[in-house]
């Protein structure tokens, strides 16, 4: 399988601060990056899809101004949670994808965000 890293693995922050999560695809070039989140006892839910060098597409109910996604290179995407609030506390996980591997999606290990 592919090697995907995420940093940090967990973060605790105060309400109102911003948090940046990095996702790196270490052994293949990801033309697309999916960002998911999982609230306790719920399914992984797709938040947004970003293609390298272009703006992200957000799923219904996900605020694009709150969750800023940058996919500047084929191996790095970042998700910034701006002005985080306790309701943003969740598990965030990235999934790089490329048309060269259409049938399999790989995932990072995830980031646990807790907003106090």
Partner 1 sequence: ILNVEQSPQSLHVQEGDSTNFTCSFPSSNFYALHWYRWETAKSPEALFVMTLNGDEKKKGRISATLNTKEGYSYLYIKGSQPEDSATYLCAFSNDYKLSFGAGTTVTVRA
Say whether residue 54 binds partner 1 (CB under 8 A).
no
CA angle 20, 24, 28 (to 5 degrees): 160
Say whether residue 51 binds partner 1 (CB under 8 A).
no
How near is the Cβ of 87 to partner 1 at its closest, in Å? Answer: 19
Say whether residue 97 binds partner 1 (CB under 8 A).
yes
Binding track, positions 1-40, relative to partner 1; x by CB under 8 A = x--x----x----------------------x-x-x----
Query: Among residues 48, 44, 52, 102, which one has the least CA distance to residue 77?
Result: 52
How near is the Cβ of 110 to partner 1 at its closest, in Å? Answer: 8
Question: How crowded is residue 111: how many other Cβ atoms within 10 Å of its Cβ?
Answer: 24
Say whether residue 42 binds partner 1 (CB under 8 A).
yes
The dihedral over CA atoms of 85, 87, 89, 94, expressed in degrees to the nearest 10, equals -100
Stretch of residues binding partner 1 (CB under 8 A), selected from 12-20, 63-71, 81-89, 92-100: 92-100
Query: Among residues 1, 19, 16, 2, which one has the least CA distance to residue 113?
Result: 19
| Residue 57 to residue 14: CA distance in whole angstroms | 28
Binding residues for partner 1, rule: CB under 8 A, are 1, 4, 9, 32, 34, 36, 41-46, 49, 93, 95, 97, 102-110
């Amino acid at each position: 399988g592919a090697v995907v890293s995420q940093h940090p693995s967990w973060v605790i922050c105060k309400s109102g601060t911003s948090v940046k999560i990095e996702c790196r695809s270490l052994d293949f070039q990801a033309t697309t990056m999916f960002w998911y989140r999982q609230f306790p006892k719920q399914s992984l839910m797709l938040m947004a899809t970003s293609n390298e060098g272009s703006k992200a597409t957000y799923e219904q109910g996900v605020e694009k101004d709150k969750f800023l996604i940058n996919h500047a290179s084929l191996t790095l995407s970042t998700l910034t949670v701006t002005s985080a609030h306790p309701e943003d506390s969740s598990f965030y996980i990235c999934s790089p994808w490329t048309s060269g591997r259409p049938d399999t999606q790989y995932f990072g290990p995830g980031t646990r965000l807790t907003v106090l």
